[in-house]
Structure 1
Amino acid sequence: MHDTTDPVANLQALVACPSLTPAEGGALALLESMLVPLGFSVERPVFATEGTPDVENLYARHGRNGPNLMYAGHTDVVPPGRETAWTHPPFAGTVANGELFGRGAVDMKGSIACFVSALARLEAEGRLERGSVSLVITGDEEGPSINGTSRLLEWATDRGERFDAALVGEPSNRETLGDMIKIGRRGSISGRVTVEGVQGHVAYPHLADNPIPGLLALLSGLIATPLDEGTDSFPASNLEVTTIDVGNPSTNVIPASVSAGFNIRFCDVWDGETIATEIERRLAAAAEGITGRGERGALSYRLDWVGRISPVFLTRDDRLVETLAGAVERTLERTPELSTTGGTSDARFIKDYCPVVEFGLVGQTMHKVDERVPLSDLEALTRVYMDFIVHWFA
């Protein structure tokens, strides 16, 4: 085993594990081998749900006394894409020009490597004796997110585990390490609108019913007016049409049906129920007066909500936020912005158990070809985590 106080060595070892979601790929086994010598008890439960892949997860705890500080993250990664496009192999962990290349280097094996290094250094110095530290690590964040963090937290709670605060190591920084801490996230909801028509020859439109104009009118009704202007804590909500699907390869055939998918990132003006009601209202209003062949009145359409709703949340725990911000300021001499921008993360599950904040690496290369992280950022993030752990327990 390599020296776990070194975040570069930790990350190289983790990147070498091809843990393409939802495969464990050896990453959780490697993490267990790093944590056990530090005095952690480790369990790796596997959860299954019909229709989704089985997922192996990891729960580790150091100490049995409170308070209990949680670190949460994921070892699963997205596919590398065309590997020949990479400057260095995506699972080699190559160091070149002061940077470490590899899939997951930023999102988010790099953060895990740094947190383990912080723990290893504190343990070596005898400074990991107050309270408890727990790691909640999933292999399902980049996938359906069904058999991962949410199930792992339920499992741990059923066993009597309780958490006082949580740090998620997602890449939270935009341009420079220390420029942003996530203290909340907008909600997310996805839907699909379908309009049925009558297939026919384009030269005989009176014998057919083209569903595309009706769908375009419905989509115009959805996006014509902004959902809101945002609030003091959150940017404005946005609705984005993500796909329009006709499935018609012919230029001389009027299609039988058409559908469009959309996603909304909503601020705290809304919750899941009220944003869904607003979308239903907008569609109904847009459908009025649109007639299909042989029909009178409103256009007929179908709205299906896809997946589960991610709720909006804001962390108001001043001690947690101020301790992390203080660690950034003391270590990096930079005052981080407290932000709720960006997409969703597993913090949406954790917020039901304890206050949660997010702080990790700079996210500019995540999910890209040549994903990479400066070695200096790995050392700096390790020192931020050390400072945060010590001051939070103090």
Structure 2
Amino acid sequence: MIKTEQSKRILRDREEVISLTQRLVRISSVYRPSVEGGNEEKAANFVADYLEKLGIEVHVEEVVPGRPNVIGIIDSGKPGKTLLFEGHTDVVTEGDHEQWNYPPFSAEIVDGRMYGRGTNDTKGNLSCMITAVHSLLQDEEEWSGKIILCIPCDEEGMMIGIKHFIEQGWADDVDGAVICEPEENQVCITQRGAMRIRLTAYGKMAHGAISWSGINPNWRMARMIVELEKLEKREQERLGKHPLLGWPSITPTILQAPVKGEAQINVIPEQCMTTLDVRTVPGFDHEGFKIELQEIIDKLAAEDEDFQMDFEVIEDRPWTETDMNEAIVDSVSWAVKNVTDKEPVYNGVPGATDGTFLHLAGVPIVTIGAGDREVPHQINEYVDIEELAETTEIYRQTALHFLNEKGEAK
């Protein structure tokens, strides 16, 4: 909790972050390509307008039609480092409204918690980072360098927003980044990588009663899945259980046959498709894994002249690890301790974030924010109000420490 001697400033910021979170959650920004306006555009335009009213330099860049990034620039006018805060505007589907205790886009506050899609992941934390910067401006705090507010689209999908942000050169001179995601205000210095892979086995369509006249791709896919389970066990034995991220994993998810057309119980399909959700930890070699996949396919093909299979890597997001000696880790850790009067808890992010690609671009990252880390994407998603206030203050003090390399704000 925030120290008991809360100042007027902290109470002022608390009111703002609550109000801003409610206003953002009430704008549905689930990406629905079949619904006009059913994406991030309204939320992004709201944020852009909000920042402009605060006197912040704003850039709006359309990544694809209807899906813009918003970039806010706060330049002190003094030479120094550049700090980036990142929080996305999109949210996942709300699912069946009837299963929610409160309407998913109502942002109702009950017993100290705000409920709604995006309260936790991550409109609450997006509001924290905006409020923290607004607080610095209101109090005319002194600092050097520059703050960039990166507010991209599509974090929940293929992360086209952050990729576009980097391609446009916005991350080129960034010295450290805070990824604003629900992590219970733990200082997350590592995150699992992710590979999304599609495997396709090929066969010959035939009548199930005369199976010898066809080639069943399902048998071939079954052999492949057995080999993948063995590979997962080998990788787990080789790498062990990561102290912050747990085990690497290779998980078959979708299993589909036929790939096209209607399935029929008495028909051998022409193709069978499986998708893999591969989660990696430091030490897992992504390129080496692709080679091992091909070696397994070649081995099975050598054993069966009818075995034919290929794979496609849909997405490749590497694991990340930030050195404890990085200035951004020091500043976030200092802020957590100063705000909470407790030693920071260090952890890792179980999934990928937009920070994955900032890391690839050479930016040291720390992921931290309000919200129970197991609540994202659930029915009755929520965030604790007091945690929003605490996170706002952590972000504020992180910025001052990182950009001034000194302690208390005035």
Counterpart check, 1:261 vs 2:278: no
Counterpart check, 1:6 vs 2:16: yes
Deviation sequence 1:252-293 (CA, Å, 0-9, x none): 22222211111212223234322211222233234432354x
Q: Equivalent of 2:367, from 358, 370, 377?
A: 358
Cα distance between partner residues in 2 of 1:79 and 1:235? 28
Q: Equivalent of 1:88, from 99, 102, 106?
A: 102
Gaps (5+ residues) in structure 1? 293-298
- Aligned residues: percent identity? 24
- Asked if the contact 1:221/1:285 (under 8 Å) is kept, the reply is no
Counterpart check, 1:279 vs 2:293: yes
- Asked if the contact 1:271/1:311 (under 8 Å) is kept, the reply is no
SS for the counterpart of 2:374 is: coil
- Asked if the contact 1:21/1:142 (under 8 Å) is kept, the reply is no
Cα distance between partner residues in 1 of 2:148 and 2:217? 54
Counterpart check, 1:321 vs 2:329: yes
- Asked if the contact 1:19/1:26 (under 8 Å) is kept, the reply is yes
Query: Paired residue for 1:153?
Result: 166
Counterpart check, 1:167 vs 2:181: no
Cα distance between partner residues in 1 of 2:275 and 2:379? 27
Cα distance between partner residues in 2 of 1:270 and 1:165? 25
Query: Paired residue for 2:312?
Result: 304
Cα distance between partner residues in 2 of 1:76 and 1:341? 19
Q: How far off is 1:372 after superposition?
A: 0.8
Q: How far off is 1:388 after superposition?
A: 1.4
Query: Paired residue for 1:197?
Result: 203
- Asked if the contact 2:207/2:268 (under 8 Å) is kept, the reply is yes
Deviation sequence 1:172-219 (CA, Å, 0-9, x none): x2xxx33x3221223222222222222222222222222211110111
SS for the counterpart of 2:187 is: strand
Counterpart check, 1:181 vs 2:187: yes
Counterpart check, 1:345 vs 2:353: yes
Q: How far off is 1:129 after superposition?
A: 4.1
Q: How far off is 1:233 after superposition?
A: 7.3
Q: 1:338 to 1:282 in 2, by over 3 A?
A: farther
Cα distance between partner residues in 2 of 1:334 and 1:130? 28
RMSD of aligned C-alpha atoms?
Answer: 2.3
Cα distance between partner residues in 1 of 2:50 and 2:244? 39
Q: 1:382 to 1:157 in 2, by over 3 A?
A: closer
Q: Equivalent of 1:246, from 257, 260, 263?
A: 257
Deviation sequence 1:18-55 (CA, Å, 0-9, x none): 1123723422222223323433100101123xxxx652
Q: 1:54 to 1:282 in 2, by over 3 A?
A: farther
- Asked if the contact 2:203/2:308 (under 8 Å) is kept, the reply is no
Aligned residues: 373
Gaps (5+ residues) in structure 2? 1-11, 33-38, 406-410
Q: How far off is 1:163 after superposition?
A: 1.2
Q: Equivalent of 1:373, from 383, 391, 394?
A: 383
Cα distance between partner residues in 2 of 1:83 and 1:233? 35
Q: 1:209 to 1:153 in 2, by over 3 A?
A: closer
Q: How far off is 1:143 after superposition?
A: 2.4
SS for the counterpart of 2:201 is: strand
Query: Paired residue for 1:295?
Result: none
Deviation sequence 1:100-156 (CA, Å, 0-9, x none): 11111011000011122222222222215432211011112122222x112112224
- Asked if the contact 2:143/2:400 (under 8 Å) is kept, the reply is no
Query: Paired residue for 1:334?
Result: 342
Cα distance between partner residues in 2 of 1:162 and 1:21? 31
- Asked if the contact 2:41/2:68 (under 8 Å) is kept, the reply is no
Cα distance between partner residues in 2 of 1:200 and 1:319? 63
Query: Paired residue for 2:223?
Result: 217
